[in-house]
Amino acid sequence: MNTAVIPTEQAPQKVKSYGRLDRQIILILDFGSQYSELIARRIRETQVYSEVLSYRTTAEQLRELDPKGIILSGGPSSVYDNYAPHCDPEIWNLGIPILGVCYGMQLMVNQLGGEVLKADRGEYGKSSLYIDDPTDLLTNVEDGITMWMSHGDSVTKMPPGFELLAHTENTPCAAIADHTKKLYGVQFHPEVVHSLGGQALIRNFVYHICECEPTWTTAAFVEEAIREIRAKVGEKRVLLALSGGVDSSTLAFLMYKAIGDRLTCVFIDQGFMRKLEPERLLKLFKEQFHIPVEYVNARDRFLNALNGVTDPEEKRRRIGHEFIHEFEETSKRLGHFDYLAQGTLYPDVIESAGTNVDPQTGERVAVKIKSHHNVGGLPKDLRFKLVEPLRKLFKDEVRKVGRSIGLPEEIVQRHPFPGPGLAIRIIGEVTAERLNILRDADLIVRQEINQRGLYHDYWQTFAVLLPIKSVGVMGDQRTYAYPIVLRIVQSEDGMTADWARVPYDVLEAISNRIVNEVKGVNRVVYDITSKPPGTIEWE
């Protein structure tokens, strides 16, 4: 099912398709939007496979992949900028249905003879969409429904052959189409949850216009993934980095199902896990799942590696470096291994991709948010070959896969936990004292949320330790201690998130317990920042 992801900062040389389940695929050309992959996720919700490629992918390369449809993403540029990213103009002659979203629509208009100018008044946030043509793309989309706008430019003249589909109060051309050539453009973002009619529009494009069938299923993925693992690994041995989270656990089950005893799971205890989790992990896998796990206590090694380090990217780099070297030492002790299995997911790849300006052309592309230990911290002299069967999946898809192959709900529904663990939930230098403080505070947060039956109401629930101290009063004594930040968010896939409206009595209980039970903390604050503009993790 896998096709190669072409980084947006590199010109594509060759695009491959590896054993895709069928010929049904919708391709998204990325013009620098942080939501390009969210479009892919929305397509997959229709049970049709989708992937993101660079906007530089040529028409010939697209023809070779034979997609059922193409979507042009949004982006930060204006089409009339000197270095605005443009697609191969030959794509308009492929005879493949194309949907342009925001910048993608403006590019379509610009390249096909229309006009795009800076708007007198930009449009950002929720807008009511008034439908002029309720057929085709906008079938069953309610007139006046809310859509999400984010643009400073507008289409002032449609290309020849195009018709108006919809408008808003501030945007005369909010949706347009050339029905004959099956070219469509929308100025809004149907992929975001704020666009209430967005998924209906996407289904119209996928099913009605592109004539796809819903064949991208969990069972089909598992079958194909096992086949690909066996084909790639052959009779070789595989070392797997187990953390106990849904990603690595699903990976372990999938790999064990594919190659059996040729898989060796290794749990490197780097000292950045939450309280009591290492013990629980080992017991679960050995006693309940009967999958052998090699335990390695490397707490001192990792803590020493982070001595004096405050930069989050350097933390990730050093943790990734230590992981690999620890695995290499372990593999030498256990015997020869050719492959290292990692639970890298699509969002990991997304947030680690790209720079904001191409150094050769000056073109603006996707901005790098942060590197992930799975994709950004590996040394160049890595002697293992990587096997990453979950690399194209979103978190919700991984949960479905885990559930389908027998992973218990305790793990399937586990909140995401970063590979670097508590090391990136301690802002600044990581010390043994700070780790102990954060472990105790984090345990209280989880206990209070679990006891009230709220765990599954939230995407992530955790504590962050800030490297500052503030004055407090306890028992008529002056204190000078750390603050703990509570981070509780709701999300569908981790790509976007909103802070959770946690009941005040729950926040009060958490705060009271932390300041009373955790030595070294005298203040608790609540993070009410959404993603964007923030990220879910602080580092």
Active site residues: 102, 189, 191
Please say whether the beta carbons of 238 and 259 come within 8 A. Answer: yes
DSSP β-ladder status, 26-30 and 2-3 = unpaired
Nearest by Cα to 310 from 430, 421, 420: 430
The H or E element containing residue 400 is helix 395-404
Output b/e per residue, 256-280; b: 16+ Cβ within 10 A. bebbeebbbbbbbbbbbbbbebbee
Please say whether the beta carbons of 259 and 233 come within 8 A. Answer: yes
Q: Where are the alpha helices (DSSP H) in 66-183?
A: 103-111
What gap in Å lies between CA 146 and CA 174, rounded to an integer? 12
Let me know if 301 is exposed, middle or buried by CB neighbors in 10 A (0-12, 13-18, 19+): middle
Please say whether the beta carbons of 145 and 192 come within 8 A. Answer: no
Neighbours of 86 (CB within 10 A): 15
Type of residue at 440: D
Instruction: Work out the angle at residue 347's Cα, subtended by the Cα atoms of residues 491 and 195, and round it to the nearest 5 degrees.
Output: 45
Residue 283 structure tokens: 């017991």
Is residue 420 reached through a cis peptide bond, with omega within 30 degrees of 0 on the bond before it? no
Orientation of helix 218-233 relative to helix 246-259, angle to 10°: 60
Q: For 240, phi and psi rounded to 5 degrees?
A: -120, 130
DSSP β-ladder status, 293-297 and 263-269 = parallel
